[in-house]
Amino acid sequence: MKILLIEDDAVIGDAIKSSLEKADYLVEWAKNGLEGEIALTDSQFEAVILDLGLPKKHGLDILKNLRSKKNQFPVLIISANENIDNKILGLDLGADDYLAKPFELQELHARLRAVIRRTNQSADNVIQFGPLSFNIKDRKFLAQNKELSLSKRELNLLELFMLKNNRSISKENLLEKLYSWDEDVSENAIEVYIHRVRAKLKPFGVEIINRRGLGYSLGLQTP
């Protein structure tokens, strides 16, 4: 799962990025408002963690511009400004949650999971597809009650398919969501990971289907 962190404080940003990466998130870190806006234009994310008091462009301006373009992915505001008017304005502009600094990283993780869960209309932490289940909180896949052994990139790939609720994802979108903007990768890299994940899903009757002209999605093998 690819997360955009827009935070100018080096200490806070590094702590958030490191903790999320340990939880197997792919994190792109923009260190000012302008970098954040460029990243939102160039890449696709499952969620955004947004500071407000940013240099070069204020976080509320980024949020307002984002929602004006009908981008609906979840936004979690983090800010040292606990003024109630700021909180109300941020939520009214389209933020999904507001977390005041300082905070515990465990709470940040929990709130991030919650806004992602709400966006994907999952009533609990588990998403199901046939014999395959994904626990958003633990970030683990089970197939017929057996945990799948997946590399970080394989986990992120399969997670994308589960969160898309069986909608097709183009190869270009997969590249954007699985890699940072500064990583030099080819479309063949996606093929390699799709092949590996296919092999791990096959014994459980789940497959990755290539829908010509549309992209890839999960499917169930017919008997």
Model confidence at 207, in pLDDT bands (50, 70, 90)?
Answer: very high
- Which of 119, 142, 163 represents a domain boundary (last residue)? 119
Q: Are residues 86 and 153 in the same domain?
A: no
- pLDDT value of residue 181: 62
Q: Are residues 114 and 135 in the same domain?
A: no
Q: Are residues 180 and 206 in the same domain?
A: yes
Residue 2 burial (CB count, 10 A)? 20
> What are 125's two structure tokens?
């932490």
Q: Are residues 173 and 200 in the same domain?
A: yes
- pLDDT value of residue 212: 86
Query: In this model, does residue 125 exceed pLDDT 80?
Result: no
130-173 pLDDT per residue, tens = 899 998 878 889 998 899 999 988 999 999 898 876 788 988 88
- Which of 119, 151, 169 represents a domain boundary (last residue)? 119
- pLDDT value of residue 135: 86
Q: Are residues 30 and 95 in the same domain?
A: yes
- pLDDT value of residue 218: 92
**Domain residue limits at 152:** 126-220
The Cα 178–Cα 28 span in angstroms is 11
- pLDDT value of residue 122: 55
CATH number for position 59: 3.40.50.2300
- pLDDT value of residue 182: 60
Q: Are residues 151 and 84 in the same domain?
A: no
Q: How many domains does the chain divide into?
A: 2
How many residues can be counted in the chain? 223
| 159 within 8 A of 174, measured Cβ to Cβ | no
Query: In this model, does residue 203 exceed pLDDT 90?
Result: yes
CATH number for position 199: 1.10.10.10
46-95 pLDDT per residue, tens = 899 999 999 999 999 999 998 888 777 899 999 987 778 888 898 999 99
Q: Are residues 150 and 81 in the same domain?
A: no
2-12 pLDDT per residue, tens = 899 999 999 99
The pTM of the whole model exceeds 0.85: no
Pairing of strands 215-220, 206-211: antiparallel
- pLDDT value of residue 188: 84
Render 176-218 in DSSP notation, one character per residue. HHHS-TT----HHHHHHHHHHHHHHHGGGTEEEEEETTTEEEE
What value does the mean pLDDT of the chain take?
A: 88
Model confidence at 108, in pLDDT bands (50, 70, 90)?
Answer: very high
- Which of 68, 86, 119 represents a domain boundary (last residue)? 119
Q: Are residues 22 and 70 in the same domain?
A: yes
Q: Are residues 67 and 146 in the same domain?
A: no
Model confidence at 185, in pLDDT bands (50, 70, 90)?
Answer: confident
